[in-house]
Amino acid sequence: MRTGRGYRRHVDESSAILERLERIEMLDRRGAPPAEVVEELRALLEEAEAWSRAEGGDAGARAVEDLRGALERDMIAM
């Protein structure tokens, strides 16, 4: 079975997001400084934006906007 390049890119972007989420959870569990967690959250936002552009559709765009809003709220609280 052959898969297209678009499929592989989608899987790569999805994997990057999941790996980033795991790193964020690990940082949170070990009590990392907020600045370190925020740095990872910013990277997650960039990866989510790339995924949303590749995936298309309103659901991806809404998810990115929700993530962006959460990051902005957390940065204000710092």
Q: Model pTM?
A: 0.64
**CA distance linking residue 78 with residue 73, whole number of Å:** 9
Share of the chain above pLDDT 70, in %: 79
Give per-residue pLDDT as tens, 23-77: 999 999 999 999 999 899 889 888 888 887 777 778 777 877 887 787 777 655 5
pLDDT number for residue 70: 76
Q: Report how many domains make up the chain.
A: 1
Q: Which domain holds residue 61?
A: 5-77
Give per-residue pLDDT as tens, 7-31: 555 567 778 888 988 999 999 999 9
CB 17 within 8 A of CB 44: yes
Q: How far is CA 30 from CA 2, 17, 33, 43, in A?
A: 42, 20, 9, 19
CA angle 69, 55, 48 (to 5 degrees): 35
pLDDT number for residue 9: 58
